[in-house]
Amino acid sequence: MGELDIIDARGLSCPQPAMLARQALQKLTEGSLELIVDNSTARENVSRIAKNLGWEISVDERSEDDVHLLIRK
């Protein structure tokens, strides 16, 4: 895997942030993915989906509307 994949899921309705995360993670066996969200619901949903698939999450909250979820395995 080369450059870090970044998905901007800000402003999207349920279930799109979690769905985009799941679709991207299913294409990877390992590596990392960054997903940007702007609300707590998307943050919780994406984190839960990634953990269920066995990935680790770290959160970089730059502001309330700019939360970067770094997903790694």
Partner 1 sequence: MSSILRLLTSRWGPIITGVVIGILAPVLVRLGNPGNMGVCMACFTRDIAGALGLHNTSVVQYIRPEIIGGLLGAFTAALLFREFKPRTGSAPLVRFLLGMFAMFGALVFLGCPWRAYLRLAGGDWNAILGICGLVVGIGLGIVFLRMGFSLGRNRPAPKTLGWIMPAFMILLLVLLLVEPQFGRDASGNPTGPIFLSESGPGAMYAPIAVALVVGLAVGFLAQRSRFCTIGAIRDMILLRDNHLLNGILALIATAFITNLILGQFNSGFEGQPVAHTDGLWNFGGMVLAGLAFTLAGGCPGRQLFLAGEGDGDAAMFFAGMLVAGGFAHTFSIASSPSGVVAFGPAAVIVGLVICIIIGLTMREAKT
Cβ distance to partner 1 smaller for residue 49 or 69: 49
- The residue from 1, 4, 6, 52 that contacts partner 1 (CB under 8 A) is 52
Rg of the chain's alpha carbons, rounded to an integer? 11
How far apart are alpha carbons 3 and 31 in whole angstroms? 10
Binding of partner 1 at residue 22 (CB under 8 A)? yes
Residue showing tokens 């450059």: 3
CB of 21 to partner 1, least distance (A): 9
Which one of 1, 6, 48, 66 is in contact with partner 1 (CB under 8 A)? 48
Residue 31: both structure tokens together: 């590596």
